[in-house]
Amino acid sequence: MPQSDLFGAPAEAGDAATPTPAHTPAPNPAQMAAALRAQLNAHAHRYYVLDEPSIPDAEYDRLFQALQTLEAEHPALRTPDSPTQRVLGQVLDGFQPVRHAVPMLSIRTETDTEASGAEAFDARVRRELELPEDAPPVQYAAELKFDGLAINLRFEAGVLVRAATRGDGETGEDVTQNIRTVGQIPLRLQGEAPPVLEVRGEVYMRRDDFEALNERQREQGGKTFVNPRNAAAGAVRQLDPAIARQRPLSFFAYGLGEVQGWAVPDTHSALLDALAALGLPVCAERTVAEGATGPRGLVAFHQAIGAKRDQLPFDIDGVVYKVNRRDLQERLGFVTREPRWAVAHKYPAQEQMTVVEGIDIQVGRTGKLTPVARLKPVFVGGVTVTNATLHNLFELRRKRVRVGDTVIVRRAGDVIPEVVGVVPAAAGADGLPLPRATYVPNFRMPRTCPVCDSTVLREPGEVNHRCTGGLFCAAQRKQALLHFAQRRAMDIEGLGDKLVDQLVDAGLVRTLPELYKLGLLKLAALDRMADKSAQNIVTALEKSKQTTLPRFLFGLGIRHVGEATAKDLAKHFGQLDRIMDASEEHLLTVRDVGPVVAHSIRTFFDQPHNREVVEQLRACGLSWPEHDGASSIDPATLPLNGKTLVLTGTLPTLSRDEAKALIEAAGGKVAGSVSKKTSYVVAGEEAGSKLDKARELGLAVLDEAGLQALLASGPAATAAPEPGDTAPSAPHHDTGVP
């Protein structure tokens, strides 16, 4: 996409660029910094707020680094609205108090989750406004009630100068340095900004970000968070902004604090539109109930959002109704510390208490064993929950969950219900917890899989226990089939998710060998399977029988054995039987195979049923070329022995996978990035930053013909060039996007 000239007047994101005339004077550092800030802020708005990125990440990084360099050379150019300021900040001893110019008041909650809740609010508003029964309906704005942390953002002359929590409503805490890490919050407002504008909204954490954060915490043995709101609040109140930046936060604006020099729109809905025009994120899930609908419009909104609540990417605990006209809001005023013109209409709670009646084990598609609490049925998050995940043994023990405990269960959206904590036992007269009526031992993970009876292992440093019977275990059947059939394994074209579901659910395929016993009639009898499609699957299965040893090894799904390791094993041993019988000590002699990988391979082939599956596949006709192993291959004779190559762009006839396979077969290694250790860069059409880096380092650059010539040469012809040498058949195109 064309960009504005970096050092001229910044264009709007997405506008075509106007080239700088040749006679234009060179820009000074201040102009350059201003242009970079404008571009970066515009691109960040498109990325975080509009979800419409206009440039690749690599280009954004390049602009960001250019601004960082400029500010390092000229510290006086560093401004509060600079994108570089999102990543700075010192660790604090504590938060400074902030007195709110306009108090941050609470909102009345309507706990009646039925339609009558909205009707009761409308009746109160009409009564307070002293409207006759035949008066027109009151116009309302309806929006979501986010389950996060309320924040006040103060912008002066359009620049974010302070962010504060609600606190007690009168005084909050200064959390500016942490709020600067939230990508959705602009450091400078767009357009013409007033002298002072305080924007109020909610900092929250998306469900997918929350689940990913907790999963990382579990893998690292750290503390997990009870819910997205707690995680968001904890991130905002971190004294170290570096920690806050690691926790993905989002933001929605919904109101105002102090305003100076700005004409506030006449309605709340128009206010939200105005905030969006200033570059602030405003939730699209809102409406205006007007005309003849009156409270019925609020009821419809409450019900519609309730129906789609589980599909929202973030948690809400209700919707908010506000009298839309600002003049009517002023007439209604406040009661105690709550506005009369607004109310929060709740939904059923997403956390409830219940009792653990048992702890079972669930085996997932990848073989992971998960302890699951069997619960006394409880209605939570709109459904009756009878089971909730405990994630893993260490999480279960950290939460001290045992059978008979009263626990808090959470269900939000499509997230699997989970036990988030144990309710403390009741205290006796001495203040100490009352003892259990009966002793309940700590839960222990089984030593064998409850589905297939294979050995259960937990690798050193990992928190998850796994079943080792991947090819045999019924719980892993679909995953094993999909992995086996994928393009980089056996490449069985047409065997995707939907067909695997049909084959397994119909009982037609229970093990990998049964794939090759499928006939045309069985396949054609499946729903939505035409004769031609069935024939294509049969043809693809037959074609896949002629494969390579690395592909077959990778297709078996041995834990930690990826494509590269499978190739190393095949190259070293040459024959499948030698790999199956190799000791851990022998496996450790293979390049890049360490103790964890060696133990995983040995454990896999120690399972009799895994060996049986392999033998049955060979009996079905699967075959591949074999050789005598590493002893018969002299690596020094391979043309690319010891060389590292990087691929970029599109080659004329070779796909990236094909080029990589040729390079590896010739003894070379394919890396993902260019460095001084790179021997050659192979560049095709639309090569980009990698080609730039190669030229900057003076590396040899080849096109496809040059690569083929190199592959056909002997080892002596592939000596790495001196920096600055020109390689044969170098491409003559310029840079693009890699």
DSSP, residue by residue, 485-549? HSTTTT--TT--HHHHHHHHHTTS-SSGGGGGG--HHHHHTSTT--HHHHHHHHHHHHHHTB--H
Q: Just give the CATH number of 351-422.
A: 2.40.50.140
The pLDDT score that the predictor gives to residue 228 is 87
Architecture of domain 127-346: 2-Layer Sandwich (3.30)
Written out in words, the top-level CATH class of the domain with range 549-632 is mainly alpha
Checking if the pLDDT of 733 tops 60, the result is no
Q: Is pLDDT larger for residue 624 or for residue 113?
A: 624
pLDDT tens profile 545-563: 999 999 999 999 998 899 9
The crossing angle, in degrees rounded to 10, of helices 608-619 and 595-606 is 70
What's the one-letter identity of residue 407? V
Domain residues of the chain, as ranges? Answer: 1-88, 127-346, 351-422, 492-544, 549-632, 635-718
The pLDDT score that the predictor gives to residue 694 is 92
Cβ-count burial of 414 within 10 angstroms (0-12 exposed, 13-18 middle, 19+ buried)? exposed
Checking if the pLDDT of 685 tops 80, the result is yes
pLDDT range class, residue 49, cuts 50, 70, 90: low
Q: Among residues 145, 322, 346, 643, which one is catalytic? A: 145
CATH of region 492-544, choose from 3.30.420.40, 2.40.110.10, 1.10.150.20, 2.40.50.140: 1.10.150.20
Across 424-449, b (16+ Cβ under 10 Å) vs e yields eeeeeeeeeeeeeeeeeeebeeeeeb
**Residue 704, both tokens:** 């496809």
DSSP strands (E only) in 159-242: 159-165, 171-173, 196-204
Report the C-alpha gap between 64 and 515 in whole angstroms: 52
| Helices (H) then strands (E): counts for the chain | 24, 24
Report the C-alpha gap between 659 and 650 in whole angstroms: 11
Checking if the pLDDT of 14 tops 70, the result is no
Written out in words, the top-level CATH class of the domain with range 635-718 is alpha beta
Checking if the pLDDT of 237 tops 90, the result is no
Beta bridge partners of 204: 250
What's the one-letter identity of residue 314? F
The pLDDT score that the predictor gives to residue 114 is 80
| Mean pLDDT computed over 422-429 | 64
Q: Please state the separation of Cα 435 from the chain's center in Å.
A: 43
Q: Residues of the chain with pLDDT > 90: what percent?
A: 43
* 145: annotated active-site residue: yes
The pLDDT score that the predictor gives to residue 270 is 97
pLDDT tens profile 55-98: 766 677 778 778 888 888 888 888 877 887 764 445 456 788 99
The pLDDT score that the predictor gives to residue 432 is 55
Name the pTM for this structure: 0.52
Q: Among 5-19, 190-204, 474-488, which stretch is predicted with the lowest mean pLDDT?
A: 5-19
Report the C-alpha gap between 336 and 106 in whole angstroms: 10
Report the first-to-last Cα separation within the chain, whole angstroms: 14
Q: Which helix (H) or strand (E) holds 648?
A: strand 644-648
Q: Among 147-161, 389-403, 544-558, 703-717, which stretch is predicted with the lowest mean pLDDT?
A: 703-717
Checking if the pLDDT of 18 tops 50, the result is no
CB atoms under 10 Å from CB of 708, counted, come to: 16
Same CATH fold assignment for domains 127-346 and 549-632: no
Checking if the pLDDT of 173 tops 80, the result is yes
Beta bridge partners of 325: 267
- Rg of the chain taking only CA atoms, in angstroms: 32
pLDDT tens profile 146-159: 988 999 999 999 99
Q: Which helix (H) or strand (E) holds 642?
A: none
- What does pLDDT average to over the chain? 84
| Mean pLDDT computed over 133-153 | 92
Instruction: Report how far apart, in Å, the C-alpha atoms of 192 and of each of 159, 273, 297 are.
Output: 11, 15, 35
pLDDT tens profile 588-626: 999 889 998 999 999 999 988 899 999 999 999 999 998
Checking if the pLDDT of 12 tops 50, the result is no
**How many residues in total does the chain contain?**
738
Checking if the pLDDT of 716 tops 60, the result is no
Q: Is pLDDT larger for residue 109 or for residue 485?
A: 485
* Helix, strand, coil percentages in the chain from 3-state DSSP, rounded to 5: 35, 20, 45
Residues 6+ apart with CB under 8 A from 589: 572
Q: Is pLDDT larger for residue 36 or for residue 6?
A: 36
Report the C-alpha gap between 234 and 232 in whole angstroms: 5
| Mean pLDDT computed over 370-380 | 92
The pLDDT score that the predictor gives to residue 296 is 86
The pLDDT score that the predictor gives to residue 426 is 52
CATH of region 1-88, choose from 3.40.50.1980, 3.30.1490.100, 1.10.287.610, 1.10.760.10: 1.10.287.610
pLDDT tens profile 457-508: 888 778 899 998 877 888 899 989 999 999 989 999 999 989 999 999 889 9
Q: Residues of the chain with pLDDT > 70: what percent?
A: 86
The residue among 628, 641, 646, 634 whose CA lies nearest residue 683 is 646
736 torsion bin: left (phi>0), alpha (psi -120 to 50), beta (else):
beta
**Residue 80 — φ and ψ, nearest 5°?**
-60, -25
